[in-house]
A and B are shown apart, each in its own frame.
Chain A
Amino acid sequence: GAGVSQSPSNKVTEKGKDVELRCDPISGHTALYWYRQSLGQGLEFLIYFQGNSAPDKSGLPSDRFSAERTGGSVSTLTIQRTQQEDSAVYLCASSLDRAYNEQFFGPGTRLTVL
């Protein structure tokens, strides 16, 4: 009966390094979302996966950001050549599908870029 899990919970990295953040959605949920929350800001949409459809990447802030979802389940968000402004909490959520179903969020990964 696990909810959405994310790893690591905290990540500290140096500017210029690449990082990978992992999300395990709730089993059976076809929709998976990545958001980030910077200090004092709302939840900023990054990318969305629905089943086998092409992902909606419209929220990715730059080409340094990419995400994959393997086998319709686990997702990895990759940030290349990290910058200090990438520091934020990265949240993953899943839902049964996109049509108005509430999203279930993971605990987030707090990324700090020094």
Chain B
Amino acid sequence: DQQVKQNSPSLSVQEGRISILNCDYTNSMFDYFLWYKKYPAEGPTFLISISSIKDKNEDGRFTVFLNKSAKHLSLHIVPSQPGDSAVYFCAASDYNNDMRFGAGTRLTVKP
């Protein structure tokens, strides 16, 4: 039961360009969304979050967009840097605070 889906297992972009990572969810009760970043041999680290009352949240080079009607969110990284190369997990939680994670997207930023 994949309630949170990241359909692109990998993404490759050139340094300086925009990276767009996508995430879709099926449970309309989800109201809080997070992105985590994971380097090899390390645990995921929190990157940015968004509540369902917003449609955009920005933090430096990272912006998360939420489209509730489409049950879709995306993470934009501008400009992309080689150090951004990692696996990015999308997560969603509901009023019970049950959190579900996507399968992750491996981002490679080429110099």
In the complex formed, the residue of A with least CB distance to B38 is A105
CB neighbors of A among B13-43 (8 A): 32, 34, 36, 41-43
- Which among A45, A92, A102 has the greatest number of chain B C-beta atoms within 10 A? A102
Sort chain A's interface into a size bin.
Answer: 20 to 34
B43 and A102: CB pair below 8 A?
Answer: no
Known: A40-B103, A43-B101. A105 touches B43 (CB 8 A): yes
Nearest neighbor of B34 in chain A, beta-carbon distance = A102
CB <8 Å contact, A91 and B44: yes
Cβ-Cβ contact count across A and B, 8 Å cutoff: 52
Q: Determine whether the beta carbon of B89 is less than 8 Å from that of A43.
A: yes
A4 to B42 alpha-carbon distance, docked (Å): 11
A41 touches B49 (CB 8 A): no
The one of B34, B43, B102 in contact with A91, judged by C-beta atoms closer than 8 angstroms, is B43
The interface residues of chain A lying within 8 Å CB-to-CB of B42 are 107-108
Q: When the two chains form their complex, are residues B97 and A100 in contact, meaning their CB atoms are under 8 A apart?
A: yes
Q: Which residue of B lies closest to A44 (CB)?
A: B101
Nearest CB of chain A from residue B50's CB, rounded to whole Å = 11
User: Please, could you name 27 A-B residue pairs with CB atoms under 8 Å apart, sorted by A?
Assistant: A40-B9, A42-B2, A42-B4, A42-B6, A42-B102, A42-B103, A42-B104, A43-B44, A44-B101, A45-B98, A45-B100, A45-B101, A91-B43, A91-B44, A92-B43, A100-B32, A100-B93, A102-B34, A102-B49, A103-B99, A104-B43, A104-B45, A104-B46, A105-B43, A105-B44, A107-B41, A108-B43
Compute how far the CA of A103 lies from the CA of B36 in the bound complex, rounded to whole angstroms.
10
Q: Flag B70-111 by CB within 8 Å of A: 1 or 0 each.
A: 000000000000000000010101000111111110000000
